[in-house]
Structure 1
Amino acid sequence: MSTSRHAFPASPEFERADRSESALYAKVTWRLIPLLFLCYVAAYLDRVNVGFAKLQMLKDLGFSETVYGLGAGIFFIGYFIFEVPSNIILHKVGARLWIARVMITWAIISAAMMFVQTPTTFYILRFLLGLAEAGLFPGVILYLTYWYPSARRGKIIAMFMTGIPISGVIGGPLSGWILHAMSGAHGFAGWQWLFLLEAIPSLVLGFVIIFLLDKGIEQAKWLTADEKKVLAANVAADADGVASHSFKDGFTNPMVWALSVIYLFFIMGLYGVGFWLPTLIKGSGVKDPLMIGFLTTLPYAAAAISMIVVGRSSDARRERRWHVAVPGLIGTAGWIAAVMAGSGNVTLAMIALTVATMGVMTTLCQFWCLPTAILAGAAAATGVAVVNSFGNLAGFISPYVIGWIIDKTHSTDLGVYTLAACLAIGGLLVLLLPKRLVNR
């Protein structure tokens, strides 16, 4: 059943069929998205909890801001190396086994971060963590194309990607509490307990995935034969409108590389939030790690709401470019305002950081409607991974460069201005994309 709009009033029969199809997709969503959402919350928590560990571990281990920035960023070198191979493997063996493998291995490595004592071990474990986690995000984005046509992906991707801000809502107070309450327990520092305890959910979910996640529509025993036919027909019809289908197309399509560059600029803004938000809040005058943890929930909670609202609007209007660009420009304004608020004014700083976080998160979730609109099948497996891996190189560049700037200037201002400029450039570049290709 097509999900396109109609110029004339729909017949009662069509309206009933449309409601039935909407109910079917609601059934699919309730089955898939909560589990995938929880996996992404756990993944993102393990990826960026180093931002909270930093509040104690730098002093304990004698690390400089530059050492921290390099260690935080080197995660993305491993991520970059294994991203495309990981997605190709997922496309061949299925999401169930491969996503489970990803989660179990990164949980073990994340827990091992508690044994870091030197910059070298810090770098090695962060690199291995990136290698282990490579494939989860693009793998899930690819997996969603097996179930949903492009017209329904804006809201669904937004629902999945709210795992990023929700990891902040949960992880902020949790991380702050662990640092506050567990410091010195059984001879371990608070940051060591942080890495150990926050790895446990990923390990558990890795085994849950094995039992609950289906490879695709045909393997879903909870669907009737008629329901499978409807879902498969919609996905097939959607793929018919896409020119790029082969593995090779995912590498050679010029749009893939244009999107990769745009995504790199957006990721600069994202990891400014993930790695530096606790530091920026501390710089505004808040010193207690527990209070910093609670305050980080505000920007993330607001971002989760904005992601869902804008995702619904994007699907309803079948418009993608402005729904990506405008939040990016709003995020730019938020970063600039955060600098202007300065230290000592916690209220203004939190308002600015909340606006910045809302803009960054909303831009990123809507961005993923663009590559899935121009790629299908094997091309989506490689193309989505190419865009994500190339863009995530900014995850290496951003924390290292900002750490270096802080060491040299003893201020976060110039680093934050850099994040703002990157978001603005990415937002403007999106508007140069051909509307006919991405507004699906």
Structure 2
Amino acid sequence: MMLETSAGPMPAAAMIDEEKIFNKVVWRIVPLIIACFVAAYLDRVNISFAKLQMQSQLGLSEAAYGLGASAFFVGYLLFEIPSNAVMARTGARLWIARIMISWGAASVAMMFVRTEGWFYFLRFLLGALEAGFVPGVLYYYTQWFPASRRGRINNLFFGAIALCGIIGGPISGGILKFFDGMYDMPGWQWLFLLEGIPSILLGVVVLLVLEDRVEDAKWLTAEEKKQLSAALARDPRVDSTHSFAIALRRPVTYLFSFIYFGLCMGIYGFLFWMPQLVKTAGTSDPLMIGLITMLPYIAAMIGTVALGRSSDRSGERRWHLAGCALAAAIGYIVSAAYGDNTVVLVIGLSIAATGVIASFGIFWLFPARVLTGTAAAAGVALINSIGQIGGLIAPYMVGKVKDVTGSASMGLYAIALVCILTAVLIAYAMPQRIRFRDARMDP
């Protein structure tokens, strides 16, 4: 096995030592972070399953549900940058733990919703408390993994969205079906209670297990720390800045933001509406809906891992990312055109889910090429905040379109158009200076 770097190939013996070190780091950090992200997305989108019961019980319209789903992103937007600014001072470990414990408590509190106003408020609060988690983790990864490895590491991380769908769909459907009426509580209340508690517990585990920096890792030897730090120092950067103020004035920061906006429109279009789309296509049993919604996420998990490995193997990022956005558009078009056919609908949703989920891990490699230090923590938060506007728009837009037309198809076509425009931006608007290939890593 040979690793190519800007300084030339490394000897095989050195590579073996480095591979062992990174495997050690991966097993220490990545499984726990993935578990946390699964919990994050489960608490963020379990409203899509709760909707199957709570909407009729609370008398919510489709637009009201969509607005409540979107309210999460209002809180997320307002508190994303402040949250990451605090993280830069406190360290990722402490702040990620705080984020998880508090959002878990807010998710549990959703079981007490009785009115539209409280529905909106608690969704807003959930977003405000979760703000900073994803940028915090991405920043944390830059402290432990060089760019040549972060493609697959990021894709494993964002692949947790698919894992959430695989395990979350059947669990959520099962809770709705089998817990409904237990101790005089409807299934949707049990859903929020049972799926909020794990986030609180995982937050405590983060506090006990993770370290902020390589230098703090007592589970690495002095030589392992030295080699790991040297690998991180080899990362290529182009015209990088450490200043958040400078990052705000650079056009490339807003290009990244617009691209991420399109990708977020893509993912939230199906995250909040897939169970309803499957129900509309002809399935009424909550457990069966949960099992059917597993399928697009299984496809997405396989595709995300494969695309992450392909991108790392070649070192090519831009065309992989543009291809993912285009695949998402194709998937949405198929889903909109065949919304009354469960089989074809699931195929379309599988294509969309694979394209958009795989895109996240590759996308976040680009900001790291030009943002470092404080700008990496706060600038990434800015990009994520602007991108999350897509999450604010997509759920409400689909709900409003469904209220007016009786079908979600036009909303899905609109999301497909956004994904196409995003693919064009990726392919042709990226500055030449950041289109370089990363070091190639043979599997």
Contact 1:45/1:171 (8 A) holds in 2 = yes
Q: Label 1:7 to 1:90 Cα distance change in 2 as closer, same or farther (>3 A).
A: closer
Aligned to 2:275: 278
Aligned to 1:224: 221
Aligned to 1:106: 103
For residues 353 and 280 of structure 2, the distance between their equivalents in structure 1, rounded to whole angstroms, comes to 17
Cα offsets for 1:380-439 (capped at 9, x unmatched): 111110110110011111111111111111111101101111111111111120243143
Aligned to 2:407: 411
For residues 357 and 203 of structure 2, the distance between their equivalents in structure 1, rounded to whole angstroms, comes to 25
Q: Cα distance, 1:7 vs. partner?
A: 10
1:249 and 2:231 correspond: no
One of 231, 255, 258 as aligned partner of 2:255: 258
Aligned to 2:292: 295
Q: How does 1:48-67 map to 2 (within 5 A)?
A: 48-67=45-64
1:358 and 2:354 correspond: yes
One of 383, 401, 414 as aligned partner of 2:397: 401
| Structure 2 unmatched runs, 5+ | 439-443
For residues 219 and 279 of structure 2, the distance between their equivalents in structure 1, rounded to whole angstroms, comes to 49
Q: Cα distance, 1:228 vs. partner?
A: 0.9
Q: Label 1:7 to 1:80 Cα distance change in 2 as closer, same or farther (>3 A).
A: closer
One of 186, 194, 197 as aligned partner of 2:194: 197
Contact 1:169/1:298 (8 A) holds in 2 = yes
Contact 2:159/2:358 (8 A) holds in 1 = no
Aligned to 2:315: 318
* Corresponding pairs, count: 435
Q: How does 1:426-437 map to 2 (within 5 A)?
A: 426-431=422-427, 432-437=429-434
Q: Cα distance, 1:293 vs. partner?
A: 0.2
Cα offsets for 1:35-72 (capped at 9, x unmatched): 00000000000000001011111100000011111110
For residues 42 and 125 of structure 1, the distance between their equivalents in structure 2, rounded to whole angstroms, comes to 17
Aligned residue for 1:88, secondary structure, equals helix
Aligned to 1:168: 165
Cα offsets for 1:260-300 (capped at 9, x unmatched): 01111110110012101111111111111100000111110
TM-score (norm 2): 0.95
Q: Aligned partner of 1:417: which letter?
A: Y
Contact 2:331/2:352 (8 A) holds in 1 = yes
- Aligned-residue RMSD, C-alpha: 1.6
Cα offsets for 1:136-166 (capped at 9, x unmatched): 1010000000111212110110011111110
For residues 182 and 246 of structure 2, the distance between their equivalents in structure 1, rounded to whole angstroms, comes to 54
For residues 179 and 145 of structure 1, the distance between their equivalents in structure 2, rounded to whole angstroms, comes to 40
Cα offsets for 1:313-335 (capped at 9, x unmatched): 11121111111110111111111
Aligned to 2:4: 4
Aligned to 2:150: 153
Q: Aligned partner of 1:115: which letter?
A: F
Aligned to 1:127: 124
TM-score (norm 1): 0.96
Aligned to 2:32: 35
Cα offsets for 1:61-86 (capped at 9, x unmatched): 00001111111001111101111111
Contact 1:155/1:315 (8 A) holds in 2 = yes
Aligned to 2:382: 386
1:367 and 2:351 correspond: no
1:332 and 2:329 correspond: yes
Aligned to 1:117: 114
Q: Aligned partner of 2:292: which letter?
A: L
* More off after superposition, 361-370 vs 208-217: 361-370
For residues 250 and 433 of structure 2, the distance between their equivalents in structure 1, rounded to whole angstroms, comes to 16
One of 232, 235, 241 as aligned partner of 1:235: 232
The alignment-based identity, stated in percent, is 47
